[in-house]
Amino acid sequence: MQVRELDIAGSWEFTPPAFPDHRGMFAAPFQGEAFVEAVGYPLRLAQTNHSVSRRGTIRGVHFADVPPSQAKYVYCPAGALLDVVVDIRVGSPTFGRWEAVELNAEKFNAIYISEGLGHSFMALTDDTAMAYICSEPFNPSGEHGITPMDPALGLPWAADIEPILSEKDLAAPTLAEAEASGLLPSYADCMAYQDKLRAVVR
């Protein structure tokens, strides 16, 4: 498993070896040992999600209250997508920055988005599937969003693909509006929560 820490603290890309043969292909997108070595604690499995999206579909930017938030380990078992991690943690040295990685069914690479980070993606092909391993179950009262079309964020959506969004995501506040309303998690709270998770392992 190849592991690459992204420039936004708390996010990593994991790329497993793929084994093609005359029957097809095999890969293991999530490997617990490699995950713990990179992140410092195991990924708690509370829920798995699976979405299928038309080309141009954008989901997010989604995040959850800290603690406990909802960390996500995501990969693309069919099609291709542009996955975007957004640092929305107030007080973070990279607050307001984003990083994008293409996930696809050829590489089976994955992104881990730790507690307190924002997450969004755009489907680059029809019938693009995304699989999520989530550390916490869905909590409607603690789930929030920022519009992925926020011009101040300038997320790198493909200019030649017509975006398709839900009404909820279109109506979500901008990053500045979310910060002003006190909706965003603090960097200090996120770091303290992750330190508690690491302490359990020691």
> Active-site residue numbers?
62, 132
Spatial separation of the C-alpha atoms in residues 170 and 77, rounded to whole Å: 27
Beta bridge partners, 14, equal 3, 110
CA 44, 59, 108, 4 dihedral sign is negative
Cβ contact 18:25 at 8 Å: yes
Beta bridge partners, 90, equal 186
Q: Which secondary-structure segment (H or E) carries 101? A: strand 98-104
Spatial separation of the C-alpha atoms in residues 23 and 155, rounded to whole Å: 39
